[in-house]
Structure 1
Amino acid sequence: MRILMIANYLPYPQTSGGRIRIYNLLRRVACRHEVSLAAFLESAGDVEGIAHLQQFCAKVETANFSQRSRLAKVPGLLRYALEGKPPELMLLHSEELKCKINQLCSEMDFDIVQIESVMGLYLDMLPRGKRFKSVEMFQNFTSQQFERVSNVEQRWDRKLRTRINALTMGYWEPRYASKFDRCTVVSEMDRQLLQRSNPRLKVDVIPNGVDVEKYQPLPLPSEKAIPALLFIGHMGYPPCVDAVLYFCSEVLPLIRQRVNNAEFWIVGRDPRPEVIALDRDDVHVTGQVDEVIPYYQRCPICVVPLRAGGGTRLKILEAMALGRPVVSTSIGCEGLNVIDGKHLLIADTPAQFAEKTIRLLQDRQLYHHLVINGRELVESCYGWDQIANKLMTVYDEMTEDER
């Protein structure tokens, strides 16, 4: 069948969890179906991804993401608010992308149009009279994400903006989703949350995953290895910023009281000034890196001290696939089918987080236990091949209904 995917960013290079998810699903779906993609170019470096994606996509259409300030867009933001739409969504409106999508639809008839949830309004921009089934892909429940971000934001203007978007998204998101034939979410928790808001929705769980063939377990670190801790994330994203600030101020000092040579590595693109300011002898801020494997090799433990956000963490699955145990908050591992003490360690206070990290650094038996169980979990439940098959089963059910 012919499938059109509409995304808020080009999924290659794979520089974020969202891109990794879209890329791995798209590539596998394209092995069995004819797939076209329409997406924004977030930066100049994204252009290199077009040629790569054209290797397995029938068409790839892009538009430059507008970097105009929110102040310049105030009239449009107010119009969206008066129409009952979350103002934040107006920032993703592009006449250029709309025209290119309509051109694609005029050139071929699609069986499925799949749209990332933040781009959901493009459903109303598609040409009338075309017959296709539509699916909205939720990587997280956006209203919940905005609400949590507002709780950790320090600047009053950002806090106010995220609070407004949490309120408007909470009303609009589940209602607009009813325009789609199907919706997908990444966890059973998100499915229940979405259907509680709108019981009429037909919602499927298509979880996040990891490439278990590409990411093979790394050698176990020697007992003499430096006790280095790793956090990987988009360091311009407020929940990730809050996580590393919280860890450095409240958790790392407790760890260093008993493990005085402990290091902390912060790996991820677009670090905010307050993150860059953390860089010192025992805290390393790398910015964007070409390859994350060397940092997993250097660091025997991954930490996920998130106190906000939504969806599920691809980096936890990646760490488990690579044989690196994880210490996480409850929010950090939310939505994953993990058990505390079996697949990872969960800690929600600074004292607990420090204690469990230290224990993992010192207890080799526990370390091996988590490594083995974590790898078994991703192999049995979170491989991209089986996840893509679940998505294609949804396609089959939708088109079977039509037939």
Structure 2
Amino acid sequence: MKILQFTVDCPFPPVSGGEIRNAANARALATLGEVLTVSFTGAPAPATPPNIRHRIIEAARGRGPWHRRSPHPTVHIVPADELTEAASIWKAFAPDLVVIEDIALSQLLALAHEHGGQTVIDLHNVDSRTVAERIGSLYLWQRWWRFRQHRRKIVQAREADILAASTADQVWVCSEADRATLLALGPAGSGKPPGNKMIDIKVIANPFPDETVLSLPIATRRYEELRLCFIGHLGYFPNIDAVKQIGREMAPRLAASGQPWSIIVAGRNPRDIVRHVCATHGLQLVENPPQVPDLLGRAGYAPMPLRFGGGTRIKVLEAMAAGLVVCATEKAVEGLGLEAGTHFLSGRDTSELAAKITALAAEPQRAAAMADAGRAFVRDRHSLAAIEQTIQQAVKGLPG
């Protein structure tokens, strides 16, 4: 089998959410045949796993992040020269299967009609929900000030999700919760898209990227101090919002406890607001880290005060695998099936999480037990071996 994978960013080496999922998908697909991964940003991968090749869309070089030049709220409206190059690669490679990353690149689904191959759209999130949540988080006057513009964005995002789900031969989502969200969107989600084609939705769990973190020690001394670490794509709105909360609300409360504290914020492509928050509130910013195990190993707690987003959070899985106590809102752990108080520390907001982290640090043995339970959960359900098995079954289920 020949498999073509289109991604926004180069997935190797995998650093943040999108690349981590794409890399795991590529590894799983490589067990079924030859994989060619094609990216629209970044540089060619310095090294790839066996049976995987990587190249970039040359026409996209130097154009900057697509979200700054696309008129659509979720879809990358691919310029004509980039689309022509993608079509040329598709035609020359002649794949049996094409896996397209997220709604951002869903425009590429239209190429299947001319160049053949079955198609999968891998939805990291149901982005129409994220757009609606982001607009809903604005102050009332902000929502009314540009009401028509906001409404148009919500409609455009929803229609893009419906069209992609209707067009692809199979849809991958991260959780049963996202599956239900997608099914509830509208006519496509009702199972009656154009031509009465039934939508084939498969839940492909998110992986944790580096299984070497399983060897990081879980010992009580790791949890005695208030050493926190937040890792995620720092150009992504839900993560930016989380960093703002960590800096503006959590850091002052940790400082007020009188205990020594530190917070590391690390990730790809931080926006200026992230840099400003970190500099203002004493957070250590690590931009574009080549690897994260060392950063994770320095901390005992992983704050996740997320309020927006879909899918399941790779940052949660990664932190748990590394032995950190995940301290999270309900939104941050949705779809994972974790038990509050056993696998993670739960809080309604940043202030409550800060108070609970401070209290748990006084009981390092309980913290270590929680970290151990979280690691066991992730190891059993989100290992690369588990992801490979699920993807193999999904591909075999595609109509011949």
Q: TM-score, normalised by structure 1?
A: 0.85
Provide the rounded CA distance (Å) in 2 between the counterparts of 1:269 and 1:309.
18
* 1:29-48 alignment, distance < 5 Å: 29-41=29-41, 46-48=42-44
Secondary structure at 1:337's aligned position in 2?
Answer: coil
Residue in structure 1 matched with residue 229 of structure 2 by the alignment: 230
How far residue 288 of structure 1 moved from its aligned partner, in angstroms, is 2.4
Residue in structure 1 matched with residue 177 of structure 2 by the alignment: 189
Stretch deviating more after TM superposition (145-154 or 113-122): 145-154
Provide the rounded CA distance (Å) in 2 between the counterparts of 1:175 and 1:69.
21
Q: Is the 8 A contact 2:14 2:209 kept in 1?
A: no
How far residue 30 of structure 1 moved from its aligned partner, in angstroms, is 1.3
Equivalent position amino acid for 1:57 in 2: I
Residue in structure 2 matched with residue 206 of structure 1 by the alignment: 204
Provide the rounded CA distance (Å) in 2 between the counterparts of 1:4 and 1:367.
44
* 1:56-205 alignment, distance < 5 Å: 56-57=51-52, 60-63=55-58, 64=60, 66-67=63-64, 77=71, 86=72, 88-89=74-75, 91-116=76-101, 117-126=103-112, 128=114, 130-152=115-137, 164-197=152-185, 198-200=189-191, 201-205=199-203
Structure 2: gaps spanning 5 or more residues: 192-198
Equivalent position amino acid for 1:109 in 2: A
* 1:352-391 alignment, distance < 5 Å: 352-391=352-391
Over aligned residue pairs, what C-alpha RMSD do you find? 2.9
Q: Is the 8 A contact 2:226 2:262 kept in 1?
A: yes
Secondary structure at 1:229's aligned position in 2?
Answer: strand
Provide the rounded CA distance (Å) in 2 between the counterparts of 1:183 and 1:224.
41
Deviations 1:75-114 (A, max 9, x none): xx4xxxxxxxx4652x440333322332233334322121
How far residue 328 of structure 1 moved from its aligned partner, in angstroms, is 0.6
The 3 A distance-change label for structure 1 pair 367 and 52 is: same
Provide the rounded CA distance (Å) in 2 between the counterparts of 1:285 and 1:59.
30
Equivalent position amino acid for 1:203 in 2: I
How far residue 131 of structure 1 moved from its aligned partner, in angstroms, is 4.2
How far residue 135 of structure 1 moved from its aligned partner, in angstroms, is 1.3
2:214 to 202, 213, 216: 216
How far residue 347 of structure 1 moved from its aligned partner, in angstroms, is 0.8
Stretch deviating more after TM superposition (373-382 or 225-234): 225-234
> Which structure exhibits the higher relative contact order, with contacts defined as CA atoms closer than 8 Å and separated by 6 or more residues?
2
The 3 A distance-change label for structure 1 pair 143 and 104 is: same
Equivalent position amino acid for 2:307 in 1: R
Equivalent position amino acid for 2:31 in 1: C
Equivalent position amino acid for 2:206 in 1: N
Q: Is the 8 A contact 2:37 2:55 kept in 1?
A: yes
Provide the rounded CA distance (Å) in 2 between the counterparts of 1:126 and 1:202.
17
Provide the rounded CA distance (Å) in 2 between the counterparts of 1:26 and 1:61.
15
Stretch deviating more after TM superposition (185-194 or 91-100): 91-100
Provide the rounded CA distance (Å) in 2 between the counterparts of 1:370 and 1:395.
36
Secondary structure at 1:279's aligned position in 2?
Answer: helix
Equivalent position amino acid for 1:318 in 2: E
Provide the rounded CA distance (Å) in 2 between the counterparts of 1:267 and 1:71.
22
* Residue 344 of structure 2 is aligned to residue 344 of structure 1: yes
Equivalent position amino acid for 1:301 in 2: Y
The 3 A distance-change label for structure 1 pair 376 and 59 is: closer
Structure 1: gaps spanning 5 or more residues: 78-85
Q: TM-score, normalised by structure 2?
A: 0.85
Equivalent position amino acid for 2:273 in 1: E
